[in-house]
């Protein structure tokens, strides 16, 4: 298991497969993707998990489009990726991070000290809640 920087295209492959398989692949692209940093977990030559970091300011960012291939879920790949990226953000001087968590994933983020903010909302018929934490 290795944390690596990846391309947007590598990230889109996983995003589409995991998050929005019933939409066209290009629907997994979001505004700001070209300026974001994309990270993944490399396992036996394959990227199996990814997330993207969008800077909101000099010391603030948002994590978006976090996905792990189904075969690799519940095996620690996502935990490894998020922990590694949070450490990189601290090293880069980032002080605040936020994300929009699918309701089903709230417990996962809570283990990393993220706190729910505000009321749940919907994106493409999936319920989310904004979560954040200081670093």
Give the chain as a 3 state SS string: CEEEEECHHHHHHHHHHHCCCCCCHHHHCCCCCCCCEEEEEEECCEEEEEEEEEECCCCEEEEEEEEECHHHCCCCHHHHHHHHHHHHHHHCCCCEEEEEEEHHHHHHHHCCCCEEEEEEEEECCEEEEEEEEEC
pLDDT of residue 52: 97
pTM recorded for the entire structure: 0.91
Q: Spell out the domains of the chain, with CATH numbers in brackets.
A: 2-97 (3.40.630.30)
In tens, the pLDDT along 80-126 reads 999 999 999 999 999 999 999 999 999 999 999 999 999 999 987 88
pLDDT band, residue 23 (cuts 50/70/90) = confident
Report, as an integer, the average pLDDT of 33-47.
Answer: 95
pLDDT tens string 122-135: 987 889 999 999 99
pLDDT of residue 5: 96
């Amino acid at each position: 298991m290795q944390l690596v920087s990846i391309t947007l295209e590598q990230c889109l492959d996983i995003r589409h497969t995991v998050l929005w398989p019933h939409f066209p692949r290009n629907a997994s692209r979001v505004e700001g993707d070209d300026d974001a940093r994309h990270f993944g977990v490399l396992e036996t030559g394959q990227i199996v998990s990814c997330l993207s970091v969008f800077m909101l300011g000099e010391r603030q960012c948002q994590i978006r489009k976090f996905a792990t291939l189904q075969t690799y879920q519940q095996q620690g790949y996502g935990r490894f990726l998020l922990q590694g990226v949070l450490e990189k953000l601290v090293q880069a001087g980032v002080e605040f991070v936020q994300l929009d968590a699918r309701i089903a994933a709230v417990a996962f983020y809570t283990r990393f000290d993220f706190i729910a903010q505000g009321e749940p909302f919907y994106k493409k018929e999936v319920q989310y809640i904004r979560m954040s934490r200081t670093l």
